[in-house]
Structure 1
């Protein structure tokens, strides 16, 4: 595999651990300069040193992805240190708290959507202009999830946020292709990370109001179920190796679990069946011959 990463610069959010750190190490070993952003500055310092010890060029920056100004500061520091930005990996994400529709706190929804959706938007808005500046092309990698490809009960906020990331990726892939910027959505199933413990970094601005507080027993039950699922997942280094493999063949959707194809195929069949129903409908069936409107 030819190395098109050597000497280029990647900004990675949520890089202090898990998927972010694994990608930082994998891309760093390909010769990239790594700009690590994370809200957990203590873990960030430890991870930065670990990469430095492996001979990787690293710049570590505190980054709350829900703060656009911090994103802008990270891009500025990356350009000061390495001259150019070629890649952004929008990895930072939170899992929320599993629960029924009527139990899910509004503050939790805002937290999940701000980190998982607005954080990706802010990352792209801050980094894409910097990638366009040098006309060398580059990459935008958005970490979504298989949860973005199919809904799961009791995880509405998380699934909605990851579905949004997939849709944003599809939109940006077409928009940025003329600039030689490749856009991918990474859609893993379960991976051994600490996403089930993401509440440890929950910002104060998303604190739950006393009137919204959930039953602690329900919260613990949901947390235990999430922990078991995550701990059954693949190692992060396997995921990172898969990402490099998929980028080499310019995949828009990067899948890590081929066994989940049967799940998405079932969804596709249901969608196709719904279109057949619409085509046979006396109300809207006549639209079958209408020209499809695109932008």
Structure 2
């Protein structure tokens, strides 16, 4: 049964996650930061976890200046011990773990599969796929220990459902994230822990803002919506899936892509 606070038939979004703790990886900027902020505005205790320790600290201070509850921790999602320590930090700092968003990822170089550098392939897969596995490996037991159920959202990509020439490592990793999501969902749904994935299209993040105009416009042209998405738009979908409003949604992969995959 849903425990979302309501006033009559109106959801109190400012208290939707009150008393819950959320860990968001890759949240010093972009989609991760937008999600952390949105969770904080819903009353959650938010742990900003990022490879960029200085960026994580600055992001946490920004959220606290906005009146939100936040803490920062450095994490290298390619290192299981680092991920385990980040999860332990969340539990020790706020008393448990209820929600997690596994968002950390990298892009990698562009080259045909037959020419793709093996070290780059391994680095992309370690970060984007192994990092999600390591994160769930330690988040799930923490949620089980708390005994209150929980919810996890893994950030895949539109490239978890289609190919993209020149990006074999990224595409393979994101397809893998979707598979991991479905497997974990089937394993833990009976324990009240829901696991879902989102597939953002190309989003206006700091990384894309560094592209030249022609390349940027080319990406825009791939989206029938006529624009790229925003981090906040992706965050709204993630937060919905974490909420009790999505209480019967588990093992699903939700696209937020301006119709990119529709054509």
TM-score (normalizing by structure 2):
0.84
Cα separation, partners in 2 of 1:125 and 1:17, compared to 1, 3 Å: same
Which residue pairs with 1:255 in the alignment? 255
Say if 1:186 and 1:254, in contact at 8 Å, map to a contact too. Answer: yes
Distance in 2 between the 1:169 and 1:17 partners? 24
Distance in 2 between the 1:92 and 1:226 partners? 22
Distance in 1 between the 2:17 and 2:44 partners? 6
SS in 1 for 2:19: coil
Instruction: Compare 39-48 and 189-198 and name the one that shifted more.
Output: 189-198
Say if 1:144 and 1:187, in contact at 8 Å, map to a contact too. Answer: yes
- 2:169 equivalent among 125, 135, 157: 157
Which residue pairs with 1:105 in the alignment? 117
Q: Which has the higher strand share?
A: 2
Q: Structure 2 matches for 1:85-96, cutoff 5 A?
A: 85-96=97-108
Which residue pairs with 2:68 in the alignment? 56
- Tell whether 2:165 aligns with 1:168: no
TM superposition shift of 1:61: 0.5
Instruction: Give structure 2 stretches of 5+ with no counterpart.
Output: 1-10, 222-226
Q: Structure 2 matches for 1:8-157, cutoff 5 A?
A: 8-157=20-169
Say if 2:57 and 2:73, in contact at 8 Å, map to a contact too. Answer: no
Say if 2:201 and 2:258, in contact at 8 Å, map to a contact too. Answer: no
CA RMSD of superposed structures (Å): 2.5
Say if 2:200 and 2:257, in contact at 8 Å, map to a contact too. Answer: yes
Instruction: Give structure 1 stretches of 5+ with no counterpart.
Output: 199-219, 264-295
Shift >3 Å, 4+ stretches: 1-4, 194-198, 224-228
Say if 1:95 and 1:196, in contact at 8 Å, map to a contact too. Answer: no
Which residue pairs with 1:229 in the alignment? 219
Q: Which has the higher helix share?
A: 1
Larger of the two Rg values belongs to structure: 1
Q: Deviations over 1:38-68 (max 9, x none)?
A: 1112222221111011111111001111111
Distance in 1 between the 2:208 and 2:172 partners? 17
Say if 1:243 and 1:254, in contact at 8 Å, map to a contact too. Answer: no
Distance in 2 between the 1:59 and 1:186 partners? 25
SS in 2 for 1:152: coil
TM superposition shift of 1:196: 5.4
Distance in 1 between the 2:181 and 2:195 partners? 6
SS in 2 for 1:241: helix
Cα separation, partners in 2 of 1:196 and 1:108, compared to 1, 3 Å: farther
Count, aligned residues: 241
Distance in 2 between the 1:234 and 1:42 partners? 27
